[in-house]
Amino acid sequence: MGGGARELAGYLAALGGWVAALAAAALPQWRQSSYAGDAIITAVGLHEGLWMSCAAQSTGQVQCRLHDSLLSLDVHIQTSRALMVISLLLGFFGIIVSVVGMKCTKVGEDDPVTKSRIAVAGGVLFILCGLCTLAAVSLYATQVTYEFFSASTPINARYEFGSALFVGWGAASLTVLGGSLLCCSCPAKERQGQQYYRQSQPSTAREYV
């Protein structure tokens, strides 16, 4: 795969991962009611996310309510919120920086070495974006798992993984993959070419016998 095609594939993968991370952050299905074991199946299904909690009736009606207070939320929800916001900001800046550094754009094409370095910087931002998304989703999933197997949690108050967690894991994988492909634009070949060009120049010094 050529350098330009690799950059384009990496950019599209990272962009898709960033959009998926945005969707995961907005979805209220980070955890959902569990009906495993002796749990009583009710006509209301509960879903909770980073920003709101929803109750789905068996008739199809869904009622959602934003979390009332920021400070009263559990620590893992506040931490996941912060990580997702940081992730989305890093990904947004990565989108802008990568466009400037990609070979298929006309911006800064007079200096290919600097342009490649900008593309690498965009790839690093995407990788950090994916790692923050992965940390947020994994932290939330760890807390859900702990509460599910805790003996102090009532059977009817247990939750399982929601669809947003799986979207977040997929988003993190795509973003890290795309960022890694962009980082392959490291301008080592250009530096080697310039060094070879300098060494191949004829010497102007004269030898005297």
Which tokens belong to 205? 């010094």
Q: Where are the domains of the chain?
A: 1-26+69-187
Tell me which residue of 18, 2, 8, 4 sits closest to 167, measured CA to CA: 18
On whether the CB atoms of residues 11 and 102 are closer than 8 A, the answer is yes
Q: Are strands 62-66 and 52-57 parallel, antiparallel or unpaired?
A: antiparallel
- From first to last of the 209 residues of the chain, give the pLDDT tens digit: 556 788 889 999 999 999 999 999 999 999 988 765 554 555 567 888 899 988 887 777 888 888 887 778 889 999 999 999 999 999 999 999 998 888 777 766 677 788 888 889 999 999 999 999 999 999 999 999 998 887 776 667 778 899 999 999 999 999 999 999 998 876 555 444 444 444 444 544 444 44
Q: Pick 1-26+69-187's CATH classification: 3.30.420.40, 1.20.140.150, 1.10.10.10, 3.40.190.10.
A: 1.20.140.150
pTM for the full predicted model? 0.80
C-alpha–C-alpha distance, residues 11 and 179, integer Å: 7
Strands (E), 67-181: 159-161
Element (H, E) at 25: helix 3-26
C-alpha–C-alpha distance, residues 134 and 177, integer Å: 13
